A and B are shown apart, each in its own frame.
Chain A
Amino acid sequence: MDVVVGITGINAIDNPGPGIGIAKSLKEDPELSVQIVGLAYDAMEPGIYMDWIVDSAFLLPYPSGDYRAYLERLRYIRAQTGLNFLFPVLDAELPLYIKYQKALEAEGIRTFLPSLEQYKLRGKDRLEEVAQTIGITAPRSAVVTSYEELARAAEDIGFPLMVKGVFYKAYKAFSLPEAASYYSKIAAEWGYPIIVQQVVTGEEMNVVAAGDGNGNALGMVGIKKTWITELGKIWTGVTIKNDRLLAAAQAFIERYRWKGAFELECIVDLENDTVYLIEINPRFPAWSYFATGVGVNIAANIVRSALGLPVTVADYEPGKLYIRFTDDFVVDMDVFQKMMLRGERR
């Protein structure tokens, strides 16, 4: 079946977006004949030029701007390419796509996303509730909106503690003045509320998975990052089979009837046999190709599920290594010119 899939997050840089991993995964499904349309926000996103993976590429207006202009651009891309499925993978664009997923479908562009209610579960203020529901635990935390509340929460939780924005930013504070400065910094940049959270220790372990919206998993793989970059991004990792971690991901899919890809970031305290939920990302992580590489093609299963094609949820072996590497290539200036002048490469 011919599928024309638009994928954002093709910024394969030192802080990579998830797009290229998804594109590679779809290309590896032997039964899906996929054309990849790369959707970029900057003419220098490397994925635009990776024509062995990305068949055509288009620039999009920023999702924070006028949504009508955004939808109009997608209509144009559909008219040019036959785009009939879209993977939005960047945090900043998810609210827009979730809100307009039905409108897009009416235009012939399918997505596979959680509902707005499901999406809200990833808020750090819901972490304890979600963790409890899926059978694990979360660091003790408090939602604060004033210095007084911050001081009270700090007294209750103790130092060091994490000061976090609801969706972005996290700092470790060792004293009340330090916590207060981070509180102001996050509030100024991202607004209220601010989350104050207990610092937990253990091994960081993550799961990438997807749900079909009816309580069934479309694949899941657990990993441990063995080497991270200065930006905190995975450079090497290893597949693991931690029963409690995978059971939590399965419960997340079943209990919330989650639709689409997600990543659970956890810290596992091996000494006390406790799994702490640190973050829920309602999208593919940048390392999602790791799952495909060990035989669990979650991206292809999402497309298959959306199109009503058979889905096989494969198992994987623990102990497989993931290794990133840097690479480079050369293209003619005219590709860049086309992107700058016309906003597209076909």
Chain B
Amino acid sequence: MDSLRQLAINEEGFVFNPATGESWTVNSTGLYILKLLKEGKDEDTIARQMAAEFDVDLETAQRDVVDFVEKLRSYRLL
């Protein structure tokens, strides 16, 4: 979580890790999830918020969040 907190994220989805110099781009869904994770929200809360705000059912939102979180884990950000 420490790695995630220190990420620099801009509004267009450019993400920079100041500890390693690595950078990535994320799409708007990734950006949405990333921001909420940085705020300390858990996966389930984020999925529910997504389902409430966007035209997506809860199951799809949960799958998207889990997929994205796994991706972050593979980059050692979580």
Contacts and interface: CB of A to CB of B under 8 A. Distances in A.
Interface of A: 203, 205, 223-224, 226, 238-243, 268, 270-271, 318-319
A271 B76 CA distance: 7
A240 B19 contact: yes
5 contacts: A238-B23, A239-B21, A240-B21, A271-B76, A318-B21
Nearest to A238: B21
B19 A242 contact: yes
A206 B31 CA distance: 30
Nearest to A205: B21
Interface string B37-55: 0000000000000000000
Interface in B1-39: 8, 16, 18-23
A203 B21 contact: yes
B9 to A, nearest CB: 11
A238 B14 CA distance: 15
A243 B19 contact: yes
A318 B21 CA distance: 8
Nearest to B2: A243
B76 A241 contact: no
Contacts, number: 33
A243 B8 CA distance: 16
Most chain A beta-carbon contacts within 10 A, residue among B8, B18, B22, B76:
B18
A240 B1 CA distance: 18
A270 to B, nearest CB: 6
Contacts of B19: 240-243, 318
Given A205-B21, A224-B21, A238-B21, A319 B76 contact: no
A224 B20 CA distance: 7
B76 A318 contact: no
A218 B5 CA distance: 29
B26 to A, nearest CB: 16
B76 A226 contact: no
A270 B74 CA distance: 11
Nearest to B19: A242
Given A319-B8, A319-B16, A270 B76 contact: yes
B76 A240 contact: no
Contacts of B76: 270-271
Nearest 5 pairs of A and B residues by beta carbon: A224-B21, A318-B18, A240-B21, A238-B21, A242-B19
Contacts of B8: 318-319
A239 B18 CA distance: 8
A239 B19 CA distance: 9
Given A270-B76, A271-B76, A242 B16 contact: no
A270 B18 contact: no
Nearest to A271: B76
A319 B20 contact: no
Contacts of A223: 21
Contacts of A240: 18-21
Given A205-B20, A224-B21, A270-B20, 11 more contacts: A203-B21, A205-B21, A223-B21, A240-B18, A240-B19, A242-B20, A243-B19, A268-B20, A318-B18, A318-B21, A319-B18
Nearest to A224: B21
Nearest to A226: B21
B44 to A, nearest CB: 28
Contacts of A226: 21
B8 to A, nearest CB: 6
